[in-house]
């Protein structure tokens, strides 16, 4: 059926109506612009009159007479003074203009979009925070969300950044699963991709959700202001720890909140285990710990990944060995086990005899083991003992002997870690993207934040013993020979690296005490029988003897 055209009056009429409306709107806008000063003065006069009336009403009756007399006298004076009335008029107009000026309105409540968001959140929480026979439900479909949300804040994009939720006392906030459901829901509804912190106040039945800003990634390796025996694992949220340290951040110095790990014979977490996905920054963490350890102690590095990422440490003062081959690793760890026993015996003798500790056992010894899982695999294939077995003595007795063990591995190697390692590494770190379950498996507790799916390298969580789970950003400590790393960060590492005594000589020929192990070149010698040549240069060293024995059989 052919469509009949609209009557002319209707089709052209609507266009002319729209045009007239536009003209009227433009005229109104222009008039408002022109009359704006007048409108301001009138508004101001109205406000002045209102405030005058209020003052008059508030004046006690017995004082009204004198006030009236004073006002009349002023008026008379103004009238008699030359140009008085004109000046008075200008003053009143000026005061009215000032009073009537438009001020930015103070925001007193959520706008429409924000109210809609809060209502949606409230409705989503109803099934979790209500029961059928509650006579006065705080959460009910179509209920009053303002009673349940006592505080809230939004960012410039209209996304929630803080929310205070009051919940009914019968909600099972003691159950981790119940809490996790609420956290998951709030996290999802408030926008993914950000990290949320949840603080449950079980006594007051209140939950505070806060969106956490990202931790700074610009702090690089440097000499941190710490006491002897303290190592900065990284930096966390300012309100999570009680202390701050001044750190260089680019060209400025800022106060940062450190995650400080205490080692030594009073430490309750004498050894550390770091776990992450490949590329999450565990090697960088070990490098950062090594640089700090070298300020007061000696370091043995065993690099199971064999990628030569510790090459910059080779031959530095205090670096006793950097090993990556299985044979060398076994020998080094065997030496470390004997050294732990020796230190223990001498320390006991000194204590029993009432003497101070001998100088040669005072310097802390650090055993840094990256990817022990790989070495364990190689050892099993070659019918040799797992290097982890040699760690039993340092792990068990290291605290009293001034020996600290740091291990790092990937999630998939967690099962290969033995019982001794698990029991004695009470300082724990998880780096990189990880599920709440993975984090809980390593730290023994859930983080009270929602781990985001994407995190920069060196970002994760730390837990010292039974302490709280802390967010962590490890200082940027790249391999200074890694040309892909930032030049300033590489230079920062070079600045804190100890010197190489006699840089012009071969590393192995550097002078060492007789019983100290040799500085061994960090080649990835996957040959499991060959002992690195450097060891032969110190035939009197204990490490050399141990290596020779292992090489023989």
Ligand X SMILES: Nc1ncnc2c1ncn2[C@@H]1O[C@H](COP(=O)(O)OP(=O)(O)OP(=O)(O)O)[C@@H](O)[C@H]1O
Binding residues vs ligand X (CB under 6 A): 217, 276, 278-284, 305, 457-458, 474, 476, 478, 485
CB of 411 to ligand X, least distance (A): 11
Nearer to ligand X, 267 or 425 (CB): 425
Nearer to ligand X, 329 or 535 (CB): 329
* CA distance to 6, 139, 525, 536, per residue, from 318 (Å): 95, 63, 23, 19
Q: Do the annotations mark residue 283 as ligand-binding?
A: yes
CB of 420 to ligand X, least distance (A): 23
For the residues of 234-283, what is the DSSP string, one character each? EEE-TTTSS--EEEEETTEEEEEEEEEEE-STT-SS-SEEEEESTTSSHH
- Reported residue count of the chain is 553
Nearer to ligand X, 161 or 236 (CB): 236
All residues at 6 or more sequence positions from 525 whose CB lies less than 8 Å from its CB, including other chains: 324, 325, 327, 328, 532
Q: Do the annotations mark residue 263 as ligand-binding?
A: no
* CA distance to 57, 362, 389, per residue, from 317 (Å): 87, 17, 28
Q: Do the annotations mark residue 304 as ligand-binding?
A: no
Give the distance from CA 482 to its chain's centroid.
Answer: 26
The residue at minimum Cβ distance from ligand X is 458
Nearer to ligand X, 298 or 309 (CB): 309
> Tokens 């550097």 correspond to what residue?
510
Nearer to ligand X, 285 or 508 (CB): 285
Give the separation between CA 161 and CA 88, rounded to whole angstroms. Answer: 52
Nearer to ligand X, 389 or 482 (CB): 482
Give the distance from CA 105 to its chain's centroid.
Answer: 36
Nearer to ligand X, 489 or 547 (CB): 489
All residues at 6 or more sequence positions from 479 whose CB lies less than 8 Å from its CB, including other chains: 287, 309, 310, 311, 312, 485, 490, 493
CB of 212 to ligand X, least distance (A): 18
Cα torsion at 190, 195, 200, 204 (round to 10°)?
-50
- β-pair type (459-464, 470-473): antiparallel
Please list the alpha-helical segments (H only) found in 133-216: 145-148, 176-189
Give the 3-state secondary structure of residue 486: coil
Nearer to ligand X, 280 or 438 (CB): 280
CB of 443 to ligand X, least distance (A): 17
Dmax (CA) of the chain:
121
CB of 274 to ligand X, least distance (A): 9
**H helices then E strands: how many in the chain?**
15, 15
Nearer to ligand X, 323 or 339 (CB): 323
CB of 217 to ligand X, least distance (A): 6
Q: Specify the DSSP element, H or E, that contains 175.
A: none
Nearer to ligand X, 186 or 247 (CB): 247
Q: Do the annotations mark residue 440 as ligand-binding?
A: no
CB of 474 to ligand X, least distance (A): 4
Residues 14 and 7 sit within 8 Å (Cβ to Cβ): no
CB of 25 to ligand X, least distance (A): 57
> Tokens 């729209």 correspond to what residue?
18
Q: Do the annotations mark residue 282 as ligand-binding?
A: yes
All residues at 6 or more sequence positions from 463 whose CB lies less than 8 Å from its CB, including other chains: 427, 428, 443, 444, 445, 469, 470
Give the separation between CA 485 and CA 491, rounded to whole angstroms. Answer: 10
All residues at 6 or more sequence positions from 535 whose CB lies less than 8 Å from its CB, including other chains: 328, 331, 508, 518, 520, 541, 543, 544, 547, 548
Q: Do the annotations mark residue 109 as ligand-binding?
A: no
CB of 480 to ligand X, least distance (A): 11
CB of 203 to ligand X, least distance (A): 38
Residue 188 exposed, middle or buried by CB count within 10 Å (0-12, 13-18, 19+): exposed
Detail the residues annotated as belonging to a binding site for ATP: 276-283
Detail the residues annotated as belonging to a binding site: 276-283
């Amino acid at each position: 059926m052919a469509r009949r055209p609209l009557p002319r009056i209707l089709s052209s009429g609507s266009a002319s109506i729209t045009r007239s409306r536009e003209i009227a709107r433009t005229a109104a806008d222009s008039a408002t612009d022109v009359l704006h000063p007048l409108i301001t003065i009138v508004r101001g006069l109205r406000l002045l009159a209102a405030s005058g009336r209020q003052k008059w009403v508030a004046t006690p009756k017995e004082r009204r007479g004198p006030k009236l007399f004073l006002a009349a006298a002023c008026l008379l004076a103004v009238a008699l003074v030359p140009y008085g009335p004109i000046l008075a008029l200008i003053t009143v107009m000026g005061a009215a203009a000032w009073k009537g000026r438009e001020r930015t309105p103070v925001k007193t409540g959520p706008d429409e979009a924000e109210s809609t968001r809060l209502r949606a959140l409230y409705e989503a929480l109803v099934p979790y925070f209500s029961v059928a026979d509650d006579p006065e439900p705080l959460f009910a479909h179509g209920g009053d969300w303002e009673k349940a949300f006592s505080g809230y804040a939004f960012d410039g994009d209209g996304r929630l950044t803080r929310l205070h939720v009051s919940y009914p006392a019968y909600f099972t906030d003691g159950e981790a699963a119940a809490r996790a459901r609420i956290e998951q829901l709030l996290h999802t509804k408030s926008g993914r991709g950000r990290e949320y912190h949840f603080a449950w106040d079980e006594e007051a039945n209140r939950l505070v959700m806060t969106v956490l800003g990202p931790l700074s990634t610009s702090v690089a390796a440097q000499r941190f202001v710490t006491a002897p025996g303290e190592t900065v694992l990284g930096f966390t949220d300012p309100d999570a720890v009680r202390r701050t340290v001044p750190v260089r951040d680019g060209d400025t110095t800022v106060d940062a909140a450190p995650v400080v790990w205490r080692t030594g014979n009073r430490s309750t977490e004498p050894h550390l285990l770091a776990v992450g996905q490949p590329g999450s920054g565990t090697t960088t963490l070990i490098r950062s710990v090594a640089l700090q350890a070298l300020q007061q102690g000696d370091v043995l590095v065993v690099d199971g990944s064999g990628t030569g990422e510790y090459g910059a440490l080779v031959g530095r003062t205090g670096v006793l060995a950097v090993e990556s081959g299985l044979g060398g690793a076994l020998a080094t760890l065997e030496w470390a086990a004997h050294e732990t026993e020796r230190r223990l015996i001498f320390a006991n003798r000194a204590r029993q005899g009432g003497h101070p500790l001998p100088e040669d056992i005072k310097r802390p010894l650090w055993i840094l083991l990256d990817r022990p899982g790989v070495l364990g695999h190689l050892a099993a294939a070659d019918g040799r003992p797992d290097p982890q077995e040699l760690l039993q003595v340092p792990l068990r007795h290291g605290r009293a002997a001034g020996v600290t063990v740091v291990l790092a591995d990937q999630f998939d190697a967690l099962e290969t870690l033995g019982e001794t390692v698990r029991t004695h590494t009470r300082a724990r770190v998880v780096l990189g993207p990880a599920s709440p379950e993975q984090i809980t498996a390593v730290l023994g507790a859930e983080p009270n934040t929602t781990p985001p799916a994407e995190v920069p390298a060196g970002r994760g969580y730390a837990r010292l013993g039974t302490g709280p789970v802390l967010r962590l950003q490890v200082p940027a400590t790249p391999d200074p020979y890694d040309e892909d790393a930032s030049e300033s960060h590489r230079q920062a590492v070079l600045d804190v690296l100890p010197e190489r005594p006699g840089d012009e000589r071969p590393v192995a020929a550097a002078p060492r005490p007789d019983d100290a192990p040799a500085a061994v070149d960090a080649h990835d010698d996957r040959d499991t029988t060959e002992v690195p040549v450097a060891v032969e240069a110190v035939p009197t060293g204990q490490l050399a003897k141990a290596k020779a024995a292992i090489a023989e059989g």
